[in-house]
Amino acid sequence: MSDLATERYAAAAAPEALRRVQSFLNTRSAGSPPEVDLLASPASANSWLRTLQWPTRPRLTTDDLPPLYELRETLQAQVEAARTPSGSPLQPDLARHLEKLSWGMTLEEGRLVLSAEGDGWRLVAGALLGDILLAQQHELWPRLKACRNPPCSVVFYDNSKNQSRVWHNTSVCGNLVNLRAARARQRAQAT
């Protein structure tokens, strides 16, 4: 299944395990000219949901959108905070969201599966946090990064051996930032 939210930014895609989380974060408006916020209305949010695989497909209404914006902001802040060398453990902000969610465990074809309970935004948020839980256990979570170009901050997956990538797309943001730095050096030399 393709992740249109991420593809529109030409960012390196996460493996299946983090596909939904990456897509959720890339529903935000970024880029220049800016792409639309895919969660701006229930209609666009529901068509975004259809592009990804969900255990049971939630249906979102207007009331579901504000809590999803909040969760998106919290997770985005978290991924962005990880850009600084000191890193960042999961923020207390996230704890607030956890209080409103619940999960159950089921057995599917002999395997234990954690599934989110509730409906609407709770089902979406629960599934996303469940994905993060699993990704943390497999050391995949730190590979989900926000582009180091602050106005961009598109979320990409770093599958490089030493986890050293910093741009969501080197030819887009890497070159742009290098160009700006070169111009700044030229200006500094001219004065």
β-pair type (144-146, 111-116): unpaired
Can you read off the two tokens belonging to residue 18?
């983090």
Residue 149 makes contact with Zn ion by CB under 5 A: yes
| Beta carbon of residue 160, minimum distance to Zn ion (angstroms, whole number) | 16
Which range touches Zn ion (CB under 5 A), out of 57-65, 85-93, 146-154, 174-182?
146-154
Binding mask 172-191 for Zn ion (x = CB under 5 A): -x------------------
Residue 12 makes contact with Zn ion by CB under 5 A: no
**According to CB under 5 A, which one of 116, 132, 135, 152 is a site residue for Zn ion?**
152
Torsions phi, psi for 21 (to 5 deg) = -65, -45
Residue 2 to residue 170: CA distance in whole angstroms: 21
| Beta carbon of residue 158, minimum distance to Zn ion (angstroms, whole number) | 13
Residue 147 makes contact with Zn ion by CB under 5 A: yes
Residue 122 to residue 142: CA distance in whole angstroms: 24
Residue 100 to residue 73: CA distance in whole angstroms: 17
Q: Which is nearer to Zn ion, 42 or 148 (CB)?
A: 148
Residue type, 138: H
Which range touches Zn ion (CB under 5 A), out of 76-84, 85-93, 160-168, 177-185?
160-168
Residue 103 to residue 164: CA distance in whole angstroms: 34
The residues of the shown chain that bind Zn ion, judged by CB under 5 A, are 147, 149, 152, 154, 168, 173
